[in-house]
Amino acid sequence: MKRISIIGYATLLLASVVYAQESTPAPPPAEPPGALEHSGMSRSNPPSQAVVPVPVPITPPKPNGPVQKSLVRITATAVDPDYKAPWNAGALQRGVGAGFVISGNRIMTNAHVVANSRYITVERDGDPNKYPAQVLFIANDCDLALITVPAKDFFKNMLPLKLGGIPTLESTVSAYGYPIGGERMSVTTGIVSRIDFQLYTHSSVDQHLAIQISAQINPGNSGGPVMQDGKVVGVAFQGYSGDVAQGVAYMIPTPVINRFLKDISNGQYDEYPDLAITYAKLQNPAQRKYLGLKDDDRGVLVGSVVTAGPSDGILKSGDVLLSIDGHPIASDANVEMDGERSQFEEVVERKFKGDSVKVDILRDKQPMTVTIKLFKPWPYSIQGHSYDVRPRYVLYGGLLFQPLNLDMLEAYRTSDLRLRHYFEYFILDQIYVDHPDVIVLSNILPDPINSYLTPYRGGIVDEVNGKKIRTLAELSEAFAQAPERLVIRMIGDGPPLVLDRNKVEAARERIKTRYNVLKEQNLEDKPASRIAAAEDQR
Amino acid sequence: MRRHSFIAFSIVVIAVSTTLAKKEPAIPTTASAPKEVALVRVNVTGQGYDYFRPWQKKAPFSKRALGAVLPKGRVLVTADLVTNQNYVELERAETGEKTAANVRVIDYEANLALLEPAEKSFLDGIAPLEITSDTVVGDRLAAWQLEPTGALLATEGLVTTIQMMPYPVDIGQFLTYRVSIPMQYRENSYTVPLVKNNKLAGLLLRYDSRSQLLDAIPAPVITHFLKDADGQNYRGFPSAGFSFFPTRDPALREYAGDKGKRGVYITNVEAGTPANKAGLKVGDIVTAVGSHDIDENGNYVDPLYGKIEFTNLLTAHAYSGDVIPFHLQRDGKPMQLNLTLEHREAKDYVSPPYSLDQPPKYYVLGGLIFQELSRQYLKEWGPNWQREAPQRLVYMDHFQSELFPERNRRVVILSQVLPANSTIGYDDLAYLTVSKVNGKEIKSLDDLAEAVKQPVEGFIKIETEEDPKQIELDASQVTAEAPSLQENYGISSLQRLQ
């Protein structure tokens, strides 16, 4: 619930570079016969020449069984939207990650391996073919995705893996994947170092449980299984690059994976619900006494309640949360669940949209019990990355208007104090109430009609012809119904931006042609790749 | 959207010409070069205030610089040099003779200060520098420095630009000479006079050794300072209290009802300022100030410099109290307003832009440290404070006129927490803005000091704008713990409210 918008902690482990050997259309590694064999497949072929040494094929550590029968290598070609020229398709990216087969002819991987993808192929051990694959479900908020291979018989020889529980601290785990350093499957082992909430950098706004392991995992490990006793205990997904911290890697633990699988069981992914509150630990004795709390180390203090969230009207700033669904909340915000101590959000984390949570609170020293029906509050989405959507924008008279969000902010690398403030405090200062879209005049395509308008760049639209503008759709509407003169007021005390509609109309084609603008606006957040995927299926 | 200065200075043209007329005849003395260079060394020891530990001062610094000897036994230096000084000493260049000096007048905004030697006779035998205000682009100015022997080291440079630029405390803009000059490093090159025909033309403001460009405080600003300093009370440079925008854009001009092709669009008028009192409004187009027309870029034609921003029109020669006619177009109709200029002091801002030579206010309450937001505090984060200081506070400082239009308040912040028994669990709190204490609204540190004296049922409740929104302390524990807190953290006094 306490989400932070600091950008880029750990790095994702997707090998996003296309390696040299990949780009050369050379045939698959043509090693001398018998020199390097795909493990487990070729025992029957004795080396043609009995020469030593026989390179030992990678044999999986015994406890986990033949993992190569479950592991796949995923190559995804993605189109990342161009927030600076949002009418363009965007830049092509190619990445390599891992995935593993689970029940129901499905392959589990990370969302960041297949996000924004336009074409996905899957390879497996001992099979020279590349199989086209499709995304079934993608959960960008917890960095998981399910894909499948339509080709008949693909799954016939594959062994679906089973999911385990949360491994104990210091127990040994093995990570499988296709990290840099070679073509074939790699295994590394390590121990479970820490179990804690972490920022998931794929969306960079969501925090969930994550397990830190000491196994070396590197770009290309993304989406690969981390196993213990023949069961999957996690999906490798992010880590720190070597110049930040050594040997710190994270995997997505099974509670998160199971939740994802359960969420999609109704045919769609509904995302994580959230209480949408901020809270503070209650460790100060005077504060506890003031609030009328017993000396029992229980309770956390509600700071802000987001009005666009499910707790609005139910919880208030100053309430003390005492227990959640029967789990007592300690004053350091932890609860005990399944014998593990974890942050009390974990209770909400395992719930689904539409579920309820029962919270015992203390309000003005009076105990109360409230029930909160959960859903996902929308305002957080601007503070995270978006995937598989086309950027929204309106281009009018060469002026590009875009709603403020993380992707847009990163694309322009703005240091503008006001923009950064509106972004950081979008939720806490309730900016979203008056400005569900913080519409920024982000760029100007130069044309005689806008030659004097450069100083307005970076401004946030407040009103057009005296009417407050709350959303991009309203702005588009205001432009469409413009009288002869348009007066755009920006937030702050700058001058108004004045446009002559007739001149703008006259310049439209000219600007479109000059800058190769295919479409003057996109108001819908909706799909980019899904359309293509749907067409593929037909 | 470039924000133009709030400050507008005014010129009374007659004043310019008279000043020039008075000074011109002084040239004849060229024949006899002064026996001793009109420079003294200035040695300063000082200590800045430590805003992170507001009860103490920072480690002492010392600076060696030069001062320009002016008539009436005065020495001119930059304000920078003597800011936060403990002791100022003058040293004769050739003999090395020393005497203590007092700072008589200091203007932080114009970055100028006047020193007076404790011994009146100390400057005897030095022919003081006269001031020349006629420098124009293309003139050559000599930067005067001293060799260790006391001999003059003069380096010549070319005046490349004369325009309005920000000064170190960043309140508005002042006229500045930009000089292309290969300066040499000398031990005491802090305040360096720029000289033309043996007369003082400017004083070094900043120098960039890579581009070899020097910015100088020009003679007209110095003259203004000196004239003001001659009066009973130093008033400081006047300000008008509006911001403006050029009207290059024909659409904007037409919208504002401007018929001609000139003037600036008024974008903001701050409450209580001269512009506000005179009735200037947002949307007005100011077409002329005094008898000078303003073009669509905000420039007027100066008899000496040619086109220059109209804020300079006002620069060196208008004083607080002067009445300046503003000609404007409002809704297409011509109007005239008379602005009575006033100096706006740093304390008249919600977040004071500078606070020098005075100790910061603070209040320590059981390990919680409260301070008032000021740019001086933010500058404690170093030269990149705008990026490195807490961004929410930088935002409040930067947009203060917009966020606090009523102006008559301060922003009280909980700046840090010293771990103590009464603050267990609060250790990580910092940079929170305080809205209420014990139910009373807080608009200054004095409000806070008053409010904490009235605990509610033994508790002091502090409410903040940001999370956690509320902090409670046990009033008696705070009192009981105060002595050990002072001792542990070396806090000489738990409060300074002045």
Q: Express each pLDDT in B346-381 by its tens digit.
A: 999 999 999 999 999 999 999 999 999 999 999 999
Give me the pLDDT at residue B31, please: 40
Instruction: Give tens-digit pLDDT for A93-110.
Output: 999 999 999 999 999 999
**CA distances for B130 relative to A403, B69, B92, B225, angstroms:** 60, 9, 19, 14
CB contact under 8 A, A496 and B251: no
> Which residues contact residue A525 at a Cβ distance below 8 angstroms, ignoring those fewer than 6 apart?
A386, A389, A392
Note whether A500 contacts B: Cβ–Cβ < 8 A.
Answer: yes
Is A297 one of the catalytic residues?
no
| Percent of chain B's residues with pLDDT above 90 | 78
Instruction: Give tens-digit pLDDT for B420-464.
Output: 999 999 999 999 999 999 999 999 999 999 999 999 999 999 999
Using CA atoms, how far apart are residues A34 and A47, in angstroms rounded to an integer? 5
Predicted-complex ipTM score:
0.87
What one-character-per-residue DSSP string does A54-66 give? Answer: PPPP-PPPGGG--
Secondary structure E strands in A438-523:
439-444, 461-464, 467-468, 485-490, 497-500, 521-522
CB contact under 8 A, A455 and B245: yes
Of B245, B254, B423, the CB nearest to A494: B245
What one-character-per-residue DSSP string does B436-460 give? Answer: EETTEE-SSHHHHHHHTTS-BTTEE
Give me the pLDDT at residue A329, please: 97
Sign of CA dihedral B185, B188, B192, B193: negative
Sign of CA dihedral A227, A231, A233, A238: positive
Is A143 one of the catalytic residues?
yes
Is A112 one of the catalytic residues?
yes
- Which residues of chain A fall below pLDDT 50? 1-10, 16-57, 59-61, 528-538
Of B255, B394, B423, the CB nearest to A498: B255
Using CA atoms, how far apart are residues B132 and B129, in angstroms rounded to an integer? 9
Note whether A53 contacts B: Cβ–Cβ < 8 A.
Answer: no
> B253, B255, B273, B386: best mutation site toward chain A, by most A Cβ within 10 Å?
B255
Note whether B2 contacts A: Cβ–Cβ < 8 A.
Answer: yes
Q: Is pLDDT at B17 greater than 80 in this prediction?
A: no
**CA distances for B109 relative to B51, B78, B165, B221, angstroms:** 21, 11, 12, 11
Find, in chain A, the residue whose alpha carbon is nearest to that of B467.
Answer: A303
CB contact under 8 A, B267 and A291: no
In the set A39, A70, A203, A222, the catalytic residue is A222
Of A289, A417, A456, the CB nearest to B398: A417
In the set A16, A39, A70, A112, the catalytic residue is A112
DSSP-derived 3-state class of residue A418: helix
Find, in chain A, the residue whose alpha carbon is nearest to that of B476.
Answer: A286
CB contact under 8 A, A417 and B395: yes
Chain center to CA of B355? 9
Instruction: Give tens-digit pLDDT for B90-149.
Output: 999 888 899 999 999 999 999 999 999 999 899 998 999 999 999 999 999 999 998 888
Note whether A6 contacts B: Cβ–Cβ < 8 A.
Answer: no
Instruction: Give tens-digit pLDDT for B307-323.
Output: 999 998 777 778 989 99
| Percent of chain A's residues with pLDDT above 70 | 86
Note whether A4 contacts B: Cβ–Cβ < 8 A.
Answer: no
Give me the pLDDT at residue A48, please: 38
Higher pLDDT, B185 or A374: A374
Give φ, ψ of B421 to 5 degrees: -60, -40
Instruction: Give tens-digit pLDDT for B253-296.
Output: 989 887 777 899 999 999 999 999 999 999 999 999 999 999 99
Note whether B29 contacts A: Cβ–Cβ < 8 A.
Answer: no
Which residues does chain A have within 8 Å of residue B387's beta carbon, measured at their own beta carbons? Answer: 415
In the set A125, A143, A407, A447, the catalytic residue is A143
Which residues does chain A have within 8 Å of residue B250's beta carbon, measured at their own beta carbons? Answer: 452
